[in-house]
Amino acid sequence: MQIDAATIEWLKAGAKWEVSTGAGVAAAWGSDAAITEIVSALALASDASVEAARQQGFFEGPIAIERHVVPGLKAYLRGRLVTLTADRLGYDAGLDVFVISVEEQDGGLTALIVLRRLP
């Protein structure tokens, strides 16, 4: 199997970065605003722009860090946006949270540390 030189160079190249700055974040946090970097498998600049805007929208408002224990072994959830449903804390209809840490536990449970955007 032969691969052309352009494809080889593309495979060897580093990540390309999409930079997005939000007026809401800048107004709320000024120089204290966090800078996030996330590498993904997105190939097109237009897709990266959409993803950057989605992430920016999530991080613009106040965020709570919460811990939830869920059934099952869920290590694969780290770094993902998931919808959690529970009968308390406003999760009745399901809320989207970003999983920043997972710890699988004995008994088939997983502790998730999540970021939750507050209204």
67 and 111 co-located in one domain:
yes
List pLDDT tens digits, range 26-64: 787 788 877 777 777 777 778 888 888 877 777 777 889
Last residue of a domain, one of 26, 42, 61: 61
How far is the CA of 77 from the CAs of 2, 3, 39, 72, 98, in angstroms?
Answer: 37, 35, 16, 11, 9
57 and 105 co-located in one domain:
no
37 and 70 co-located in one domain:
no
**In the chain, how many domains are there?**
2
Indicate the pTM of the whole model. Answer: 0.59
Domain that holds residue 42: 1-61
- Two structure tokens written together for 45: 């600049």
Last residue of a domain, one of 45, 61, 77: 61
45 and 74 co-located in one domain:
no
List pLDDT tens digits, range 52-111: 887 777 777 788 999 999 999 999 999 898 999 988 888 899 999 999 999 999 999 999
